[in-house]
Amino acid sequence: MMTAEEYVQSLRELGPRRIYLFGERVENPVDHPLIRPSVNACAMTYRLAEFPQYQDLMTATSALTGRRVNRFVHLHQSPEDLVKKVKMQRLLGQVTGTCFQRCVGLDALNAVWSVTYEVDQKYGTSYHERFRRFVLEWEEKDWTVDGAMTDPKGNRALGPSAQADPDLYVHVVERRADGIVVRGAKMHQTGVLNSHQILVMPTAAMRPEDADYAVCFAVPADDPTLIYIYGRQSSDTRKLEGTRVDVGNLHYGGQEGIVIFNDTFVPWERVFLCGETEFTGMLVERFAAYHRQSYGGCKVGNGDVLIGAAAAIAEYQGVASASHIREKLTEMVHLNETLYACGIACSAAGTRMAAGNYLVDVLLANVCKQNVTRFPYEMARLAQDIAGGLLGTMPSDADFASDEVGALCRKYLAAAVPAEERRRMLRLIEAMTMGALAVGYLVESMHGAGSPQTQRIVIQRYADLEAKKALARRLCGIDPDPFLPGR
């Protein structure tokens, strides 16, 4: 396993990449002030694995080699593994207060592992063996892998092959004896610049006419044909000001970007699906279920930080004993633990798949994510309520450092604690609920792993209303009761 320092160095050792931010090419992404906080957050997935007290959560025994591996490269072997995944994600959310980016690759790993096995069972292909070799290297090198699913989609009333521009979905443009050539883009790629490899999956269930779009493959993140465009965040230029306090979270941040495949060659060894459209829906659903489970851990850890910040600012401002403050904090805890309960429940109810790894309960995972689209927003509202109006009107770091007005800022913004402590806590709440960290806490809560409607579609499909109607018919006497023979 890599250490955190080795991970950061491994990013430096990647080949030159075409990365664009604010219209300019970034030559050194690792040390760029807008990007480095996300590197720090991802590095924590390696650092915590070094601590003996976190070994049980952060590491696992490889199902392929029997060696100890980071849990972020692990094939789930039991419901206990699924539960530990959620607990690990909550821990990392608590430690970083933001998105730590490595979950998408883990969820893609387990989804692609199971689906390639079933494709091979039906068609006699060799996708699973190829993927197995890829996973062995993934484990050995302890990669961070970007799981890439979401396409631009263009006119969403049309399927991939019906688009005016065929590149609005990633697709195969050439099949060669030694591999395929692909073109297109993937959107909203969490931690893409902090990854060693990119694992591409189809974005939706495909029809036979969309066979060129039914493709799953892996490419190195430093493939020279790739183009990256970094996504900006609210208040992100504060990181360029040399300020410390105004950014809210001093060390950690998230990252999203677009990755463009510009006639990228993929050798057959790294192709894991190519034209088998009937398996695309299965792959999307399994990946989504894993990733919706993930939100019952990571966003709960972030929620723990926000609850702590709200409780602290109430104390700092002298209102912690007010009954309405206690009630609001209790509600925040209730909402947060409800999310965690869903994450644990869908994990504990996980079942073994044909490929040997375990899948979460799909219905409960979607219920988990549906709650995540709502509860963090209410928690953010309550935190802002507790924080008060200064959350949006506080003077800048430069004003506090000013020879002319710094003393006045410290004088008039002091409360039950010095102004310095008060403003730091307010900046953290601001960042999490309306600033750069709100991308990882709120926007991801709404749209990560699919928008709210996608979860409702799955919930409707798995609800089994016919079975529930049968329960009602039995109890009111329309149907016979098998538990009471003769009645």
Catalytic positions, please?
99, 103, 190, 256, 291, 295, 298, 444
Supply 27's token pair. 């030559």
Which residues are CB-neighbours of 451 under 8 A, at least 6 positions away?
A: 373
Residue 113's nearest CA partner among 355, 362, 290, 350 is 355
Whole-angstrom distance, CA of residue 310 vs CA of residue 315: 9
Whole-angstrom distance, CA of residue 421 vs CA of residue 414: 9
Q: What is the DSSP letter of 441?
A: I
| Chain centroid offset of residue 17 CA | 23
Q: Which helix (H) or strand (E) element contains residue 58?
A: helix 55-58
Measured CA distances, 470 to 285, 364, 466, 476, 486 (Å): 28, 22, 6, 10, 18
Q: Are 60 and 47 in contact (CB under 8 A)?
A: no
Whole-angstrom distance, CA of residue 284 vs CA of residue 112: 9
Q: Are 328 and 314 in contact (CB under 8 A)?
A: no
Residue 70 bridge partners (DSSP): 59
Residue 29's nearest CA partner among 260, 195, 251 is 195
Whole-angstrom distance, CA of residue 147 vs CA of residue 262: 18
Q: Alpha helices of 180-322 — where are they, by DSSP H?
A: 280-316
Supply 95's token pair. 């430690």
Whole-angstrom distance, CA of residue 435 vs CA of residue 414: 23
